[in-house]
Structure 1
Amino acid sequence: MRILDKYILKKYLSSFTLVLTLLIPIAIAIDVSEKVDKFLRHANLSVGEIIEDYYVNFVIIYGNTFMPLALFIAVIFFTSKLAGNTEVIAIHSAKISFTRFLKPYFIGATIVTVFALTMNHFVVPRSNKIFENFNRTYLKKKKLNANFITNVNLQLGPNDYIFIKNYTVDRSIGYNFSYEIFEDNKLSQKLMADNIRWVEEDSTYTLINYSKRFLFKDRDSIVHGNKLDTIFNFEPKDLVNIDYMAKEMNSVELYKYINQAKERGVSNLNSYLVEFHKRSSLPISSYILTFLAVALAAKKKRGGMGVNLAIGITLMFVYVFFLKISEVLGAGADTNSFVMVWIPNLIFGGLAFYLYLKNAKN
């Protein structure tokens, strides 16, 4: 690696770290001012718990969120400074092409991308779990009773469904249970019970006061009983509504859940797929935002760094806007979640490539 590469890479990483380090304390200060009264409502909540369970994970989650913004601003900042000091002109005068000039930026973007991918897929989900549990326990006005669930619906396969009126998580007991099997869109079998209990030792279910109904073309057959031990293709954890838990599962767990749901015939998994694809698309944007920032800031402009930063921040807000819109649209039932999540990167990647060609010709 040349001295020039080491110089630019050092500037790249140090500027990125500096901007990120400046953004996080600002976010913490704003959050403390909003939440301090809620913290004080709980006499049993210590400062240590607030720091360990809330703000440590706050830094991890929001630091990861701010990473693309910090990277974009950092690259524009120090590249504009290089251009302002005529260092970029000196580099080109030394017969170093714009493509070659991008090499240390590419190395820096790779370092940031690998770090962000690891954070997004494995570290941030764990922090989300602790952070959201703290929020639900201490900060939200309407607390979610995660132990008691009502109106559970679960599709076990293309043609079989279960319904449970009430379910208690810690006791693994459900009440007003119904299991229905369809053939050619017509109900063929129905199993009902007053309650259903999970027997962990045998991985079976016990039904109390059950009735089995078989529907034939010319007649119905009904069987009653006090107790029935049976098995189903689900576990108690599958009954929990995990809409809010998608962000709390690491990517391996989320991928397994998505595949399991597909096997059961669940039709719309786009909200989970958006979360899964977003964990890769956002880190990969480090390359796009880096090259876009370099292409914008590599030439000295009238107005200096301020103009570059104004253009860069405007583009960053447009990127975030597209990102949020694509997430909402990607969660829809009739869209391709993978395409929708990656559309902002494709649009800004095209812009970065255009500016790269423009700079490379000069």
Structure 2
Amino acid sequence: MKRAANVFAILLHRYIFRSVLMATVMAVAMFVFVLVAGNAIKEVFSLLASGRVGWGQFIYLMAILIPRVIPYALPLGILTGVLLVLGRLSAQGEILAMKAAGISLWRIAAPIFLIAMGGTAFAVAIGFYYAPMADTLYKRSLANVVREDPLRFFQPKTFVKEFPGYVFYFESREGSTVKNLRTWLIGDKGKMTRYLTSNSGVISFDAERDAIRLTVEQGSGEGRSESDAEDAGGIQSLAAEQLSFSLSLDALFGERSKERKLSYLNLNELLGKRQHYIENEEGLDEETQTARINQVQTAIQKKAAMGVAVLSLCAIAIPLGIKASRSETYANLALALGLALTYFFLLVVVSWLEGKPSLRPDLLIWVPNLLYQGLGFYLLSRVNRN
């Protein structure tokens, strides 16, 4: 009898493990697609539509974006998968039958927690190493598109606004020569300081400076100081036989920027930067030093907390999936999105405190995880007693 019960438990665990795993994988794939598409619409579709990147490059860039969104798709996926499977089992009375057979909810949830722990380890590895690598590779790949064919980035009858401080527009192009070129120079306050027109200009790539060079021939126009931008009397006529603009790819993509965003750094780089600030190699004052150290610590803790979000959302999804007792997919998806949005909202609220080191945002970043895990285990224990 005992052996039969053990065999039944093993079969049950396999059934739940397989069902939740398959539902989670499908949900993660769906959310990866949605998040990648969202990033593509924001950053790459315009390049594809204007002909600046081809279909092959577009697909490659989309593939690079996948590790970037996995830390967000994994928590959403396991939350959705657990709600879908347990909601269906509960609605069909299978959970009730398992409890009647003497199987506790903790044993029923064991294979789900196993999936969650594996997902957490995977998400932490992605967040600390592969997502930063993907971000760096994505920026480098975009820069390489420009390096390989700088003319592709400049399309006729299209305003080119990507380079900070400049706006370009031209009517047509013959090889590397553009016709009827117009150039606007924008000041730090976002106001025009110079406007130049030219019959022609030549675009080339300066490999030594890693920049696109635009040489304007027979240019004329007007200029004014940014402080007098609204004063028509301050306009000055400009004329030049030849004028050259150097458009740094570093300014466009930030690939070689000395101060890379903390989100683009992997764990080893973050720890190195933290040690750099602790030893105060830049000679910072105490307040600035403390703020910099706290920023790096918060970035490290945030990446770890995003990985643990897989376990946190799973913990609260198990009792809610059982109690909801709904087999309708749309209802469970709505519940999953509501829980996920609440979690990420709490994460954003805590992130607002990054500028206040005295409040220890590097520790407060764990509050959403603690709330969800505490509430989840409390609800599961109550459901198990009922």
TM-score by length of 1: 0.66
Q: Please state if 1:86 is matched with 2:86.
A: no
> For residues 30 and 327 of structure 1, do their structure 2 counterparts lie closer, same or farther at Cα, with a shift above 3 Å needed?
closer
Whole-Å Cα distance in 2 between the matches of residues 76 and 4 of structure 1?
Answer: 18
Give the drift of 1:144: 6.4
Q: Which residue of 2 aligns with 1:263?
A: 279
Note closer, same or farther for the CA distance 1:240–1:347 as it changes in structure 2 (3 Å cut). same
- Hey, what does 2:301 align to over in structure 1? 277
Q: Are positions 1:3 and 2:27 aligned together?
A: no
Residue correspondence of structure 1 range 1-362 to structure 2 within 5 A: 2-33=10-41, 35-41=44-50, 43=52, 45-52=53-60, 54-134=61-141, 141-143=161-163, 241-244=258-261, 246-264=262-280, 266-269=289-292, 270-299=294-323, 301=325, 307-362=331-386
Q: For residues 336 and 46 of structure 2, what CA distance do their matches in structure 1 show?
A: 37
Encode CA deviations 1:36-85: one digit per residue, 9 max, x unaligned.
23234454x33333332x21121221133221111111110111011112
Alignment partner of 2:15: what SS?
Answer: helix
* Whole-angstrom CA distance in 1 between matches of 2:142 and 2:349: 26
User: Offset at 1:350?
Assistant: 2.2
CA contact (8 A) 1:326 1:340 kept: yes
Unaligned runs of 5+ in 1: 146-169, 172-238
CA shift in 2, pair 1:335/1:240, >3 Å: farther
**Partners of 2:88 and 2:327 within 8 A in 1:** no
| Deviation of the 1:30 alpha carbon | 4.5
The residue identity in structure 1 corresponding to 2:346 is F
CA distance in 1, matches of 2:86, 2:377: 18
Could you tell me how far apart the structure 2 residues matched to 1:294 and 1:103 are? 11
Instruction: Report sequence identity in percent.
Output: 21
Q: CA deviation at 1:291?
A: 1.8
Q: How many residues align structurally? A: 268
Q: CA deviation at 1:315?
A: 2.0
- Report the alpha carbon displacement of residue 115 of structure 1 after superposing the two structures with TM: 1.1
Q: For 2:143 and 2:357, how far apart are their aligned partners in 1? A: 29
The letter of the residue matching 1:39 is: L
For 1:255, the aligned partner's letter is L
Q: CA deviation at 1:130?
A: 1.6
Contact 1:84 1:304 in 2 (8 A): no
- Pick closer, same or farther for the CA change 1:56–1:144 going to 2, 3 Å: farther
SS of match in other structure, 2:358: coil
Query: Match of 1:180?
Result: none
* Structure 2 unaligned residues grouped into runs of 5+: 1-8, 147-152, 154-159, 166-207, 210-255
Q: Greater helix percent: which structure?
A: 2
Partner secondary structure for residue 334 of structure 1: helix
Shift of 1:309: 4.1
**Aligned-residue offset at 1:295:** 0.5
In the superposition, relative to structure 1, how do residues 41 and 280 fare at CA in structure 2: closer, same or farther (>3 Å)? same
